[in-house]
Structure formats: structure tokens, C-alpha cells
Amino acid sequence: MSEGSYNAVTWLLDRNVEEGRGNKLVFNDTVSRLTYGELQRETRRAANMLRRLGVRREERVAMIMLDTVDFPIVFLGAIRAGIVPVPLNTLLTADQYAYILADCRARVLFVSEALYPVIKDVVGRMPDLEHVVVSGAKQNGHKQLAEEIAGESEQFTNAATHPDEPAFWLYSSGSTGMPKGVRHLHSNLQATADTYAKQVLGIRENDVCLSAAKLFFAYGLGNALTFPMSVGATVVLNSERPTPARMFDLMNRYNPSIFYGVPTLFAAMLNDETMKSERGGKSLRICTSAGEALPESVGNSWKSRFGVDILDGVGSTELLHIFLSNAPGDIKYGSSGKPVPGYAVRLVNEAGQDVADGEVGELLVDAPSAGEGYWNQRHKSRRTFEGPWTRTGDKYIRDAEGRYTFCGRADDMFKVSGIWVSPFEVESALITHPAVLEAAVVPEADPEGLLKPKAFVVLRPGATTTDLQEMLKEHVKQKIGPWKYPRWIDVVDSLPKTATGKIQRFKLREGAN
Ligand code: 3SK
């Protein structure tokens, strides 16, 4: 690389080998393992393969890949070459993949064997797509990753990229509309590691990391790639569904010191009857949670069961990782904590003016890890990335100690009798009732056309349903005040959620009205 240039892979991977960690284990996906030295060689081969396939700097390659060792090989191999990997959610439909592949104009698609059936009818109609490379067994005459890489040289000079040059894109699902490609820069990965990972999480070389969130999410990418690699630590990759049983099993087998979860999973793990007798989790020193606010009751129960805290935080795909967080020794369950060192935040009203402590405002963040905009979406980019400030669309309230508490999405809040109601507050009250496992609240018009809260609840197994409606209404009235109680309560089997675990209230609103 030339002077003044900065390639994220030089910092993230090559530095570890130079500092003597070549023989240290970096990734274990329970089937294959890679040391830092092996990963360096494999990513150099992958970079040479991409050049041979004719992909040039700044062009995109898409990834629909499970969390196995092949993911970092492709992702970091592309970045090495100045080529832009676009990891995609592995749970999308064929139509959604067709939209994104056309939008990003990927020249090559890397796909895990198990996911190939979903895209097999799509790949033939993508005009920019020249190669499909399968991780696993060959499919339909397409190329196979292991075979393509095997003959390549282990020598490669990293592309002399600029710190402000796009390194990878992540598609942001958003609460409505088609996904938007967020362009992230070479310097953004280090920005998240130097701030949240080092100064909040206190990540260190002897950590073993396990993330329930997959690598294609911004949350998972930081948890299980950027952060551990930034200090030469080790990662256990989980290519399967992150069920409570799977997570306990991995904890028992690999003794992670950091477990990164999401609220629904923490709650499900605490409720997992079959695992009540297991001692999984004894190696943990800290856990993190993101995706949606962690209910206070879940944080407290986790702490008493496993003896470790969950650091609840908030991040976004646009800002790459967590920018508000609780910190070790400074935890208040029910709150999202304080700004991560290196990030500045503001709460503003509809006129764009800063609001005082105790007032609800939209959260804006000045972040060293912000994406540079949405691909081909100038209007949406301008509305979200306003100079140094990124609009999150989340409503928060700040207390006198400087802690921030989530009040709902800007577009989820509604007024009842002229008073703002946060669906989140009503949901939090509902789930403190012993019969309720999960809840979502949306506005519904009453016969007079006035908005009132309506709740959808998932009950705990075996919960008593006698007088359920009246019992829950009374419970909410007692907890948070008489006007906020849900006037209607539907019992459902599950709630609609995004892949990151956020409740999609807009889907319930559409069904409700
Ligand atoms: O949803 C979150 O809180 C989050 C956290 C870290 C990175 C990305 C996201 C969306």
C-alpha cells in the first residue's frame, strides 16, 4: 500500500500476523477452524481469484452466506482487493434478492450451498451478474469456492485504498419500503472497534466471542469479526439458527467470554425449560444486547441466573454499530445508557431544536462510523445524513444523569387524548405481567375515530387465560396510567419482526386498521 492509503484488511488482519498472532485461532465454525495466518493466506487467494474473475476495484460482489469460515475469507478477500462486498440477509425471498442484486449491480454472487435453492431461478436474469460461486458442494454447473481459491497465489499487495473509500455495503431493512444500500468506508470498521469495542466492552486478546446476530447484520459483523479481530481474539461462528438450545450448546462446548444477543433470545433462553438444569454460560464475563430495547425484567433475571450483566445498547446499520450503551459498572436496566465515547448525540423536537432533559426528542448522532449515504437514493440520503448528524428516527428521553431511554420509533408514537403514547412503554408494562411473553402495541381508531392503544400479546406456555383481557388492562393501568391501557388485546402465536428482531409494528397497524 502507498503512503497515506488505508486498507481495512491491513489493520484488521495483516497487523495481527505481523504482531506474532499468525498461529492463533481466529475463527471456529464448529466444522472448520482458521488461524490468523491461515486467514491471511486464504484472503490473499480470494483477492487473486476475484481479480482473475475480472472484478475491478470499487465493483460490488454480493454474498448470501451462512456464518462459516468462508464468510470472512470472501468478505476480507474482496476488501483487500479494493472490491466492495455486499453481505445480504440470508432470510430474504427470491424477489428481494433480485431487487438487491440489480440495485447493487453485483458482478459475482457468493452463495452458501444450503441457500442456493432460493436464488437458483434469479441468477439467470441478473444482467450484471457474471459468476455464481458456491460455498460448499457445486450447484448447477456454477463455480465452487474451494476449487476457485485452491490454485491461487498466497501473495497479494493490498489495494491502496483511501480511508474514505467505500469498503463494503450493508442493506438497511428499515421499517418500511425496499432495503437501501448503505455505503461503509474503509475507516469505519476501526472506528467502531476503537470506540464501543475497546472503550465500552473492553474487548481483549484472550476473549472468545459468540454472537447470536449473524455476520451480515451490522451488529453481528462488529460482534464476531471487527471487534475480536481488532485485538487478536477468537470467534465461535454459528451457522445455524440461534435457538436457546443451540446457544447453550455452543456455550458449553466453546466457553465464550462474550455473548452478544438480542432481547427476544435472552428472554427465550431464560424461559427454556429443557435447559434449566444446564450450567451453560459459566465462562461468560459480559453480554451485550441490541436490536430493540432490553426489558428491565430480562436484564435482572439474566444477571441473577448467570451472574453477568447484559450491556444494552442501540446501534444502526447506517452507523455500523452501537452508539448509545450501558457500560460495565454503570448499568440501569430499562435504559439504553449513555453515548459511546467518540459519538455525540442530540435530542431534537420537530422544529430541529434541542429539547431539555425529561422531554422526548428524536435522536441524532454524530458518528465516526457513519456510512456516507444510501446508494442511488439521494432524497433518503439527504433526509438521514444531515452534515455530521445522522437521524435515527428513534424517540428518546434523557434524564438528569445523562441516560437515554427509548420511547419508540418516531413513526410508532401516537397521541391518545392529546398525550403522546409510546408503544414501547405499554409493551414494557404488559410484559411485566406473568402471563405475557411478548407484546406489541399499535394505535387503533375507536368508534369515534379517536386513536387508542391496541395490543398483540404472545402468552407464556401454560399461562392462565381466565379474565385475561380485564386482568391485563388493569395491570397496565396500574403500571403506567389509566389512559395508556390497551382497549383491545389480541392473543397471537408470534409477532412480526425484522431479521434483527425489531417488532414490525407497521405490519400490525396495517392489519389493525
Ligand atoms: O439494532 C441495533 O441496535 C444495531 C446495533 C448494532 C449494529 C446495528 C444495529 C441495527
**Strands in 213-289 per DSSP E:** 234-236, 258-261, 286-289
CA within 13 Å, CB half, 495: 25
CA of 500 from ligand 1 middle (Å) equals 8
pLDDT tens-digit readout, 237-248: 999 999 999 999
Residue 494 pLDDT > 50: yes
CA within 13 Å, CB half, 133: 22
Cα–Cα distance measured from residue 256 to residue 286, given in angstroms and rounded to the nearest whole number: 10
CA of 502 from ligand 1 middle (Å) equals 10
Amino acid 273: pLDDT? 72
Ligand 1 atom 5: the closest Cα is on which residue? 315
Q: Where in the chain is the domain with CATH 3.40.50.12780?
A: 189-409
Q: How many residues does the chain have?
A: 513
Fold assignment, 189-409 = Rossmann fold (3.40.50)
Which atom of ligand 1 sits closest to the CA of residue 313?
3
3-state DSSP assignment of residue 94: helix
Amino acid 2: pLDDT? 67
**Alpha helices for 232-377 (secondary structure H):** 244-254, 263-271, 296-306
Amino acid 409: pLDDT? 77
CB 139 within 8 A of CB 118: no
Query: End-to-end CA distance of the chain, in Å?
Result: 58
CA of 499 from ligand 1 middle (Å) equals 11
Cα–Cα distance measured from residue 2 to residue 87, given in angstroms and rounded to the nearest whole number: 28
pLDDT tens-digit readout, 386-401: 999 999 999 999 999 9
Per-residue cell: 203 = 474487548
The pLDDT confidence band at residue 58, using thresholds 50, 70 and 90, is very high
Which atom of ligand 1 sits closest to the CA of residue 217?
8
Which atom of ligand 1 sits closest to the CA of residue 314?
3
Residue 170 CA: distances (Å) to CA of 63, 321, 375: 11, 12, 10
Mutate to test the pocket of ligand 1, among 219, 312, 390 (most ligand atoms within 8 A of CB): 219
Cell 483511501, residue located = 162
Q: For the ranges 447-451, 493-497, 502-506, which has the lowest average pLDDT?
A: 447-451
Mutate to test the pocket of ligand 1, among 324, 336, 500 (most ligand atoms within 8 A of CB): 500
The pLDDT confidence band at residue 513, using thresholds 50, 70 and 90, is very low
C-alpha dihedral sign at 389, 390, 393, 396: negative
Q: Which of 420, 422, 427 shows the shortest CA–CA distance to 406?
A: 422
More confident residue, 347 or 461: 347
Per cent of the chain over pLDDT 70 is 96
Residue partners of 316: CB distance under 8 A and separation at least 6: 172, 218, 323, 390, 392
Mutate to test the pocket of ligand 1, among 316, 318, 404, 409 (most ligand atoms within 8 A of CB): 316
Mutate to test the pocket of ligand 1, among 188, 217, 392 (most ligand atoms within 8 A of CB): 217
Cα–Cα distance measured from residue 261 to residue 69, given in angstroms and rounded to the nearest whole number: 20
Q: In CATH, what number does 414-510 get?
A: 3.30.300.30
Per-residue cell: 40 = 491471511
The pLDDT confidence band at residue 192, using thresholds 50, 70 and 90, is very high
Residue partners of 187: CB distance under 8 A and separation at least 6: 6, 8, 163, 164, 368
Amino acid 175: pLDDT? 46
The pLDDT confidence band at residue 445, using thresholds 50, 70 and 90, is confident
Which atom of ligand 1 sits closest to the CA of residue 500?
1
CA of 317 from ligand 1 middle (Å) equals 6
Q: Specify burial of residue 127 (Cβ count, 10 A radius: 0-12, 13-18, 19+).
A: exposed
pTM of structure: 0.88
**Strands in 2-139 per DSSP E:** 25-28, 33-35, 60-64, 84-87, 108-112, 131-135
CA of 332 from ligand 1 middle (Å) equals 19
User: Torsion over CA of 63, 64, 67 and 72, rounded to 10 degrees?
Assistant: -10
Mutate to test the pocket of ligand 1, among 221, 317, 323, 497 (most ligand atoms within 8 A of CB): 317
Cα–Cα distance measured from residue 334 to residue 399, given in angstroms and rounded to the nearest whole number: 13
**DSSP result, 399-420:** -TTS-EEEEEETTT-EEETTEE
CB 447 within 8 A of CB 383: no
Helix (H) or strand (E) segment spanning residue 314: strand 310-315
Q: Which of 372, 287, 288 shows the shortest CA–CA distance to 324?
A: 288
Cα–Cα distance measured from residue 2 to residue 158, given in angstroms and rounded to the nearest whole number: 10
Backbone phi, psi, residue 328, to 5°: -55, 130
Q: Where in the chain is the domain with CATH 3.30.300.30?
A: 414-510
Cα–Cα distance measured from residue 248 to residue 412, given in angstroms and rounded to the nearest whole number: 34
Residue 297 CA, chain-centre distance (Å), reads 22
Cα–Cα distance measured from residue 359 to residue 205, given in angstroms and rounded to the nearest whole number: 41
Ligand 1 atom 9: the closest Cα is on which residue? 316
Amino acid 509: pLDDT? 84
The pLDDT confidence band at residue 174, using thresholds 50, 70 and 90, is low
Backbone phi, psi, residue 133, to 5°: -120, 125
Amino acid 277: pLDDT? 54
What's the mean per-residue pLDDT of the chain? 93
Per-residue cell: 365 = 448522532
The pLDDT confidence band at residue 274, using thresholds 50, 70 and 90, is low
Cα–Cα distance measured from residue 512 to residue 509, given in angstroms and rounded to the nearest whole number: 5
CA of 196 from ligand 1 middle (Å) equals 12
CA of 322 from ligand 1 middle (Å) equals 6
Interface predicted TM-score (ipTM) of this complex, two decimals: 0.97
Residue 336, number of CB atoms within 10 A of its CB = 24
Q: For the ranges 45-49, 206-210, 262-266, 498-502, which has the lowest average pLDDT?
A: 498-502
CA of 304 from ligand 1 middle (Å) equals 26
CA of 238 from ligand 1 middle (Å) equals 19
Specify the DSSP class assigned to residue 484: G
pLDDT tens-digit readout, 102-149: 999 999 999 999 999 999 999 999 999 999 999 999 999 999 999 999
Per-residue cell: 81 = 482487493
Cα–Cα distance measured from residue 28 to residue 38, given in angstroms and rounded to the nearest whole number: 12
Amino acid 279: pLDDT? 57
Amino acid 177: pLDDT? 60
CA of 56 from ligand 1 middle (Å) equals 31
User: Helices (H), strands (E): how many in the chain?
Assistant: 17, 26
Pocket around ligand 1 at a 6 A CB cut-off: 218-219, 290-291, 314-317, 321-322, 500
CA of 218 from ligand 1 middle (Å) equals 6
Residue 35 CA, chain-centre distance (Å), reads 25
CA of 157 from ligand 1 middle (Å) equals 33
Q: Where in the chain is the domain with CATH 3.40.50.980?
A: 36-162
Class of the CATH-defined domain 36-162:
alpha beta
Ligand 1 atom 10: the closest Cα is on which residue? 316
Residue 330, number of CB atoms within 10 A of its CB = 13
pLDDT tens-digit readout, 66-106: 999 999 999 999 999 999 999 999 988 898 899 999 999 99
Q: Which of 333, 328, 321 shows the shortest CA–CA distance to 500?
A: 321
What's at 109, amino acid-wise? L
The pLDDT confidence band at residue 276, using thresholds 50, 70 and 90, is low
Mutate to test the pocket of ligand 1, among 314, 320, 365, 396 (most ligand atoms within 8 A of CB): 314
